[in-house]
Amino acid sequence: MEGFATEIGTIECPLIIPLGVNVSKVLNYLAGQDYLDANNILLGFPHPSGGNGHRHKQFAANEEQMKMMLQHYFSKEMTIG
C-alpha cells in the first residue's frame, strides 16, 4: 500500500484522531490489514464542522470511551519514552 499507510507506518506509536465516521472506517480497515495499531486510533471523535449538527451529541456519547483510550495511550507512551 502506498501513500498515507506507508507514511504513517514510519512514525513510532502515532496518536491518530480521525475526524468523522468515514475516516474512522478507513483507519479501521488499515488497522485490520496491520498497517496501523488500532490502539493508537481515537475512535468516536466527531467531525468538528458546523455542518455536523450532531457533533455535541456524538462527543458526549463517546467522551468516556475516548478518555479511557487516551489514558491507556499516554500511560503506554510514558513507559516507552
| Inside any domain, residue 20 | yes
4: Cα separation from own chain's centroid = 14
| Inside any domain, residue 5 | no
Average pLDDT over residues 44-58: 93
Structural domain containing residue 40? 13-80
Give residue 21's pLDDT.
87
Average pLDDT over residues 42-71: 94
Give the angle 1-12-37 at the CA atoms, nearest 5°: 60
Domain count, the chain: 1
* pLDDT exceeds 80 at position 19: yes
Average pLDDT over residues 46-68: 94
| Inside any domain, residue 4 | no
Give residue 14's pLDDT.
94
| Inside any domain, residue 6 | no
| Inside any domain, residue 70 | yes
Q: What is the pTM of this model?
A: 0.82
